[in-house]
Chain A
Amino acid sequence: MSESIALPLPAQHSRIAGATSESPLVKSLLIGTALIFLAVFLFLPVLAVFYEAFKKGAAVYFAALVEPDAWSAIKLTLLIAAIAVPLNLVFGVAAAWAIAKFDFRGKQLLITLIDLPFSVSPVMAGLIYVLIFGAQGWLGPWLSEHDVKVIFALPGIVLATVFITFPFVARELIPLMQAQGNEEEEAAIVLGASGWRTFWHVTLPNIKWGLLYGVILCNARAMGEFGAVSVVSGHIRGLTNTMPLHVEILYNEYNFAAAFAVASLLALLALVTLVLKSIVEWKTRESVSDLSPEPVQK
Chain B
Amino acid sequence: MPLLLRRHSVLPGFNLALGCTLLYLGLIVLIPLSAAFIKTASLSWPAFWETVTSPRVVASYRLSFGASALAAAINAVFGLIVAWVLVRYTFPGKKVIDALVDLPFALPTAVAGVALTAIYAGNGWIGQILEPLGIKVAFTPLGVLVALTFIGLPFVVRTVQPVLEDVEREAEEAAASLGASRLQTFLRVILPAILPALTTGFALAFARALGEYGSVIFIAGNVPMVSEITPLLIITKLEQYDYVGATAIAVVMLVTSFVLLLAINLLQRWAGKRGAKGQ
Whether A103 contacts B6 by the Cβ 8 Å rule is yes
Interchain nearest-CB distance for A173 vs B (Å): 12
Most buried by B among A116, A120, A185, A278: A120
Whether B28 contacts A270 by the Cβ 8 Å rule is no
Q: Does chain A have a CB within 8 A of B246?
A: yes
Whether A195 contacts B13 by the Cβ 8 Å rule is yes
Q: Does chain A have a CB within 8 A of B100?
A: yes
Write the B92-124 contact mask toward A (1 if CB under 8 angstroms, else 0). 000101011111111111111011101100001
Q: Does chain B have a CB within 8 A of A102?
A: yes
- Would A127 and B11 be within 8 Å (CB), given that A20-B169, A34-B82, A115-B261 are in contact? no
Measured as residues with beta carbon below 8 angstroms from the partner, the interface class of chain A is: 35 or more
Q: What residues of B have a CB within 8 angstroms of the CB of A23 in the complex?
A: 182
Whether A42 contacts B29 by the Cβ 8 Å rule is no
Whether A220 contacts B111 by the Cβ 8 Å rule is no
Q: What residues of A have a CB within 8 angstroms of the CB of B20 in the complex?
A: 90-91, 94-95
Write the A191-233 contact mask toward B (1 if CB under 8 angstroms, else 0). 0000100110000000000000000010010011111001100
Q: What residues of B have a CB within 8 angstroms of the CB of A5 in the complex?
A: none
Q: What residues of B have a CB within 8 angstroms of the CB of A30 in the complex?
A: 81, 84-85, 89
Q: What residues of B have a CB within 8 angstroms of the CB of A98 in the complex?
A: 14, 17-18, 21
Stretch in B50-58, B194-202, B206-214 with 4+ CB within 8 Å of A: B206-214
Whether B29 contacts A95 by the Cβ 8 Å rule is no
Whether B109 contacts A226 by the Cβ 8 Å rule is yes
Q: Which of A258-272 contact B (CB under 8 A)?
A: 259-260, 263, 266-267, 269-271
Interchain nearest-CB distance for B252 vs A (Å): 11
Is the contact region of chain B dominated by helix, strand, or loop, or is it mixed? helix
Write the B5-29 contact mask toward A (1 if CB under 8 angstroms, else 0). 1100111111011101100110011
Q: Which of A12-30 contact B (CB under 8 A)?
A: 12, 15-16, 18-23, 26-27, 30
Stretch in A59-67, A243-251, A285-293 with 4+ CB within 8 Å of B: A243-251
Most buried by B among A19, A40, A130, A137: A19
Q: Does chain B have a CB within 8 A of A189?
A: yes
Interchain nearest-CB distance for A3 vs B (Å): 20
Interchain nearest-CB distance for B197 vs A (Å): 16
Interface size on B, residues (CB 8 A): 97
Whether B234 contacts A19 by the Cβ 8 Å rule is no
- Would A122 and B115 be within 8 Å (CB), given that A16-B176, A20-B176, A277-B99 are in contact? no
Whether B114 contacts A251 by the Cβ 8 Å rule is yes
Whether B39 contacts A34 by the Cβ 8 Å rule is no
A134 CA / B242 CA spacing, docked (Å):
13
Whether B111 contacts A224 by the Cβ 8 Å rule is yes
A231 CA / B214 CA spacing, docked (Å):
11
Q: Does chain A have a CB within 8 A of B254?
A: yes
Say which residue of A27, A34, A129 sits within 8 Å of B32 (CB atoms): A129
Whether B35 contacts A263 by the Cβ 8 Å rule is no
- Would A121 and B257 be within 8 Å (CB), given that A104-B6, A112-B265, A129-B32 are in contact? yes
Whether A33 contacts B78 by the Cβ 8 Å rule is yes
Q: Does chain B have a CB within 8 A of A44?
A: yes
Q: What residues of A have a CB within 8 angstroms of the CB of B17 in the complex?
A: 94-95, 97-98
Whether A44 contacts B119 by the Cβ 8 Å rule is yes
Whether B21 contacts A120 by the Cβ 8 Å rule is no
Whether A224 contacts B32 by the Cβ 8 Å rule is no
Q: What residues of A have a CB within 8 angstroms of the CB of B243 in the complex?
A: 130-131, 134, 136
| Residues of B participating in the A interface, judged by any CB pair closer than 8 Å | 3-6, 9-14, 16-18, 20-21, 24-25, 28-33, 35-36, 39, 78, 81-82, 84-86, 88-89, 91, 95, 97, 99-112, 114-116, 118-119, 124-126, 146, 149-150, 153, 169, 172-173, 175-177, 180-182, 185, 207, 210-214, 218, 231, 234-235, 238, 241, 243, 246-247, 250, 253-254, 257-258, 260-261, 264-265
